[in-house]
Amino acid sequence: MGLFLLALALVLAAGALYTALRVRQFRRLHPAPGQFISAGGEKLHYMRAGLGRPVVLVPGVFGCAHDFSLSFLEPAAKEYDVLAVDRPGHGYSFKRRAVLSLDRQVEILHDVIQSAGMERPLLLGHSLGAALALAYALRYPESISGLVLVSGYVFPTADPVHWIYRIPQLGLLGDLLLATLFYPAAKIVARSVAEGVFWPDPVPENYFFFNRELSTNPQAYKAHALDVLNFKAFLEKNSARYAEIRIPAVILTGAKDLVAPAEIHAARLHRAMPGSELIILDETGHQPGIVRPGEVLRAIRRAWELADLPGRN
């Protein structure tokens, strides 16, 4: 028994050292590419580029502002004033001060938009970010000009929450696991998870490296997991009100999306929102922004066209 406990202690110590060194090394070699803004008591990282009409990008679970910089942020910045924000605890906004509900994150997003001087922007959300964008439209309808909802996971389902997201609920034991064993284990399985998200497209290597490092460190994963645990109740409350949204909306999704299947989410949302437009991309999975950036840019242009129609805004 004594030898077992000693071996366990050595494994945990090695995992903690490996995790701490790798996280510190990544942050040293790859510092935040954008700037920081204070909003709602949080210090948030954001990336901003371009001139023109304002567009705000909201990432989802295991996503961050850096993802957009690897996809359509640069081409969009040739036409628009584009701001991509890391939600509290995500990406380079890793110093999350408190456990924040998704409703509170919507409020903080509003503070970011106001503080950044983005006047009635177009709000683009990906995956869970699309659900946040919809909640924003319900709460602050006069503050935005329209929505682009990309691969949105926007309705509650009966799918159970995977046990791995419940690690933060284990209290001190959960914190111990995240600080010692989770990061090394996550590096082993990250590839297969990413392949499922991107299928049928291959996973771009540059995206994979940054997303893995930014989403599997202990602080970031805890923030992601807590969002997932609170997500169903958030959707149950808001999805019943989607028909109230009257601002222009373009819904973009992949026909092969395994994370947020089109018929369960995008097509149902289109039916619930009068006047919305639905675009389904053939042979595309959950990441059209990465693999079909031109299609996302066209959706942004179309949303602004709809916003400019008489009586739409």
What string of DSSP letters covers 98-141? S---HHHHHHHHHHHHHHTT--S-EEEEETHHHHHHHHHHHH-G
- Identify whether the C-beta of residue 273 lies closer than 8 Å to the C-beta of residue 242: yes
pLDDT tens for each residue of the chain, 313 residues long: 677 666 667 766 777 777 777 888 878 888 888 899 988 888 899 999 999 999 999 999 888 888 888 888 889 999 999 999 999 888 888 766 666 889 999 999 999 999 999 999 999 999 999 999 999 999 999 999 999 999 999 999 877 777 777 887 778 887 888 777 788 887 788 888 888 889 999 998 888 888 888 888 888 888 888 888 899 999 999 999 999 999 999 999 999 999 999 999 999 999 999 889 999 999 999 999 999 999 999 999 999 999 998 766 5
Domains in the chain: boundaries: 32-153+233-308
Cα separations in angstroms, 108 against 58, 61, 73, 147, 209: 12, 17, 22, 18, 28
Whole-structure pTM over 0.85, yes or no?
A: yes
- Only one residue has tokens 């909640």, namely 135
Whole-angstrom CA distances from 196 to 45, 56, 192, 199 are 28, 27, 6, 5
Alpha carbon distance 106, 111 (integer Å): 9
The per-residue pLDDT for 96 is: 65
Q: Which two tokens stand for residue 26?
A: 């990544």
At residue 92's C-alpha, the angle toward residues 87 and 98, to 5°, is 55
pLDDT tens per residue, range 141-175: 999 999 999 999 999 987 777 777 788 777 888 78
Instruction: Tell me whether the omega of the peptide bond preceding residue 200 falls within 30 degrees of 0, making it cis.
Output: yes
The secondary structure of residue 34, as a DSSP letter, is S
Q: How far is Cα 260 from Cα 251, in angstroms, rounded to an integer?
A: 13
Which backbone phi and psi does 310 adopt, to 5 degrees?
-55, 130
Q: Is 236 exposed, middle or buried (0-12, 13-18, 19+ CB in 10 A)?
A: exposed
Tell me how far apart the alpha carbons of residues 108 and 93 are, in angstroms, rounded to a whole number: 13
Evaluate the CA torsion angle 85, 66, 96, 157 in order and state its sign: positive
Residue 4 confidence (pLDDT)? 64
**Chain centroid, CA 253 distance in Å:** 15
Span 76-133, pLDDT tens digits? 999 999 999 999 888 888 766 666 889 999 999 999 999 999 999 999 999 999 999 9
Q: Which two tokens stand for residue 125?
A: 């959300």
User: 């202990």: which residue's tokens?
Assistant: 218
Residue 152: predicted pLDDT: 95
H or E element, residue 150: strand 146-150
The DSSP string of 174-220 is HHHHIIIIIHHHHHHHHHHHHHHHHTTSPPPHHHHHHHHHHHHSHHH
Specify the pairing of strand 42-49 against strand 35-39: antiparallel
Does domain 32-153+233-308 fall into CATH 3.40.50.1820?
yes
